C-alpha cells in the first residue's frame, strides 16, 4: 500500500497584486520541481462561490461532506484543547473578556491575559440547572467551554458581540425546549461568571498593576458533539495529523486521526517547520495518510501582509518541500481556502492543488500557482473529491460496479 503526506498551507490561495499572487512572487524551486513531475489542478473546497471556514474546509479535504458532518466550531476547539467529549455535549469557543458594570465590552481579550488558567478554575465544575460546566483555558484569553447534561442544543446565538459594545443575550435559534433551555443556561453562566470574577483576587491584583481584569466569559460558536465514522472506518487507512493550531487538531481528532504533537509547532509565522516536516516523514513510516498543516500564511493574509505571506511560502519551499522531494510516497500540496491579502478574509476563489508520486500522470504545468494550475490535469475539483483520488493511489480504492 502507498503512503501520502498531505501538506495544507492554510489560506495560501490569493489574488494578484501588481500582477502577481504571493505564490507567484515567492521563491519556490522545490515546489516547482514537484510541479513539473506531477499533476495539478484547482479546488473549490466547499462548492463554487461558497467561502470556506478553516473548519468546514478541512472536513471536505478529509472527504467528509461539510454540509452533513459539520458539528459547529466549538466542538473542534474543545477536542483540540484535549477535552474528551461525550455524545450530546454542547461546546463553545469562549473568551475571557473585560466588561464595565453596565456589561459593555471594554476588551474582548482581557488585555490578552496570560494567567487565565487560575481564573477559569473558579468556574470549571459548576452546575447550572443540572448541567455540568466544563471550562478549560487554552492560550491567553481563549478557553473552551462545554455543557454536559440532558436536552441540550447548539441552536443558540452567541453572547460575544464580536466588538466593543454591550454583550449579547444568547437566544434560541429554533423553537424547541432544548434551544431555549441551553440559551437560558448560557445566559445564567455568563451572569454568574461576572459575579464570581469581578472581585476575584487575581483581577484585583491586575487592576492594581493597571491591567484589564478578566471579569466575564463570552461564549460563541456553539457546536453539538455526535460521534461520526472515523477516517479508518470510512476510508480504510490510518491517518495522523501534525498541526500547531488547536482547531486543526480538533478536526483531526473528531475524525479519529492520531495527533502528533511537535515541539515548536505554534500555528504562527514563527513555527518550527523543520520539526514539523521531520515529524511528518517519521509519521509516514507508520501511517498511510499524514496530514501536515501550516497556518502562518493565513495569519499574514488576515493582516494584509503580502511580503510576510510570500516569505512564508518561500520558507515552506526551502524547509518543508525540499525534504519531501526524496520521499518514497505521494505528496499533495494544497490549501483549505483562499485568503487574499488585499481582502484580508477568506474568499471563494479556488485553491491550487499539486499531486506528486512516481506513478502519477504528469501534466504540462511547470509552475505551481493559482493561474498556471488552471491548465492542470486534475481540472477543477471540489474538496470532497480529493480523498477518493488519494485513496485510489494509495490502494484503498472504492469500486463501483464489477
List, in order, residues 6 or more apart from 199 with CB less than 8 Å away. none
Pick the closer one to Zn ion by CB: 305 or 336: 336
Pick the closer one to Zn ion by CB: 71 or 213: 71
Pick the closer one to Zn ion by CB: 144 or 338: 338
CB 11 within 8 A of CB 316: no
First to last CA, the chain: 21
CB 289 within 8 A of CB 296: no
List, in order, residues 6 or more apart from 239 with CB less than 8 Å away. 62, 231, 232, 252, 255, 256, 257, 258, 287, 288, 289, 290, 291
Pick the closer one to Zn ion by CB: 158 or 336: 336
* Total of chain residues touching Zn ion, rule CB under 5 A: 4
Pick the closer one to Zn ion by CB: 284 or 308: 308
Pick the closer one to Zn ion by CB: 336 or 370: 336
CB 3 within 8 A of CB 394: yes
> Which range in 49-57, 79-87, 253-261, 281-289 contacts Zn ion by CB under 5 A?
49-57
Provide the minimum distance between the beta carbon of 299 and Zn ion in the complex, in angstroms, as a whole number: 8
Binding pattern for the stretch 315-344 against Zn ion, x by CB under 5 A and - elsewhere = ---------------------x--------
Span 173-192, contacts to Zn ion by CB under 5 A: none
Among candidates 95, 121, 93, 123, which has minimal Cα distance to 107?
95
Binding pattern for the stretch 255-284 against Zn ion, x by CB under 5 A and - elsewhere = ------------------------------
Provide the minimum distance between the beta carbon of 337 and Zn ion in the complex, in angstroms, as a whole number: 5
Provide the minimum distance between the beta carbon of 139 and Zn ion in the complex, in angstroms, as a whole number: 16
List, in order, residues 6 or more apart from 182 with CB less than 8 Å away. 90, 147, 152, 153, 154, 155, 156, 170, 172, 222
Give residue number: closest CB to Zn ion.
54
10 binds Zn ion (CB under 5 A): yes
- What is the Cα–Cα distance from 169 to 218, expressed in whole angstroms? 10
Question: Quick one: cell of 46?
Answer: 466547499
298 binds Zn ion (CB under 5 A): yes
Interacting residue with Zn ion among 30, 54, 203, 391 (CB under 5 A): 54
Looking up cell 454568574, which residue turns up? 192
Pick the closer one to Zn ion by CB: 21 or 54: 54
Which residues of the chain form contacts with Zn ion (CB under 5 A)?
Answer: 10, 54, 298, 336
Amino acid at each position: 500500500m502507498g503512503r501520502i503526506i498531505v501538506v495544507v498551507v492554510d489560506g495560501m490561495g490569493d489574488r494578484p497584486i501588481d500582477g502577481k499572487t504571493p505564490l507567484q512572487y515567492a521563491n519556490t524551486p522545490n515546489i516547482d520541481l514537484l510541479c513539473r513531475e506531477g499533476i495539478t489542478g484547482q479546488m473549490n473546497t466547499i462548492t463554487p462561490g461558497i467561502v470556506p471556514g478553516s473548519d468546514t474546509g478541512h472536513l471536505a479535504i478529509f472527504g467528509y461532506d461539510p454540509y452533513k458532518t459539520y458539528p459547529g466550531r466549538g466542538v473542534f476547539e474543545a477536542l483540540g484543547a484535549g477535552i474528551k467529549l461525550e455524545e450530546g455535549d454542547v461546546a463553545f469557543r469562549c473568551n475571557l473578556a473585560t466588561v464595565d458594570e453596565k456589561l459593555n465590552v471594554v476588551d474582548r481579550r482581557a488585555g490578552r491575559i496570560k494567567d487565565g488558567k487560575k481564573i477559569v478554575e473558579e468556574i470549571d465544575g459548576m452546575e447550572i440547572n443540572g448541567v455540568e460546566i466544563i471550562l478549560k483555558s487554552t492560550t491567553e484569553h481563549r478557553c473552551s467551554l462545554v455543557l454536559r447534561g440532558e436536552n441540550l442544543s447548539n441552536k443558540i446565538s452567541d453572547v460575544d458581540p464580536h466588538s466593543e459594545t454591550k454583550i449579547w443575550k444568547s437566544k434560541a435559534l429554533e423553537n424547541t425546549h432544548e434551544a431555549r433551555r441551553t440559551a437560558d443556561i448560557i445566559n445564567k453562566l455568563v451572569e454568574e461568571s461576572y459575579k464570581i470574577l469581578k472581585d476575584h483576587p487575581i483581577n484585583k491584583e491586575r487592576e492594581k498593576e493597571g491591567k484589564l481584569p478578566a471579569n466575564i466569559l463570552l461564549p460563541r460558536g456553539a457546536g453539538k458533539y455526535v460521534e461520526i465514522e472515523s477516517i479508518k472506518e470510512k476510508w480504510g487507512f490510518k491517518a495522523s495529523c501534525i498541526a500547531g493550531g488547536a482547531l486543526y487538531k480538533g478536526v483531526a481528532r473528531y475524525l479519529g486521526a492520531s495527533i502528533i504533537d511537535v515541539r515548536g509547532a505554534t500555528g504562527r509565522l514563527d513555527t518550527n517547520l523543520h520539526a514539523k516536516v521531520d515529524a511528518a516523514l517519521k509519521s509516514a513510516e507508520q501511517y498511510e495518510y499524514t496530514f501536515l498543516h501550516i497556518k502562518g500564511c493565513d495569519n499574514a493574509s488576515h493582516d494584509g501582509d503580502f511580503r510576510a505571506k510570500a516569505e512564508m511560502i518561500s520558507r515552506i519551499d526551502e524547509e518543508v518541500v525540499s525534504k519531501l522531494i526524496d520521499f518514497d510516497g505521494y505528496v499533495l500540496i494544497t490549501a483549505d481556502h483562499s485568503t487574499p491579502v488585499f481582502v484580508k478574509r477568506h474568499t471563494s476563489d479556488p485553491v491550487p492543488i499539486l499531486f506528486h508520486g512516481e506513478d502519477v500522470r504528469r501534466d504540462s504545468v511547470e509552475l505551481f500557482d493559482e493561474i498556471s494550475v488552471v491548465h492542470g490535469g486534475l481540472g477543477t475539483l471540489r474538496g470532497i473529491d480529493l480523498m477518493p483520488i488519494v485513496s485510489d493511489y494509495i490502494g484503498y480504492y472504492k469500486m463501483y460496479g464489477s
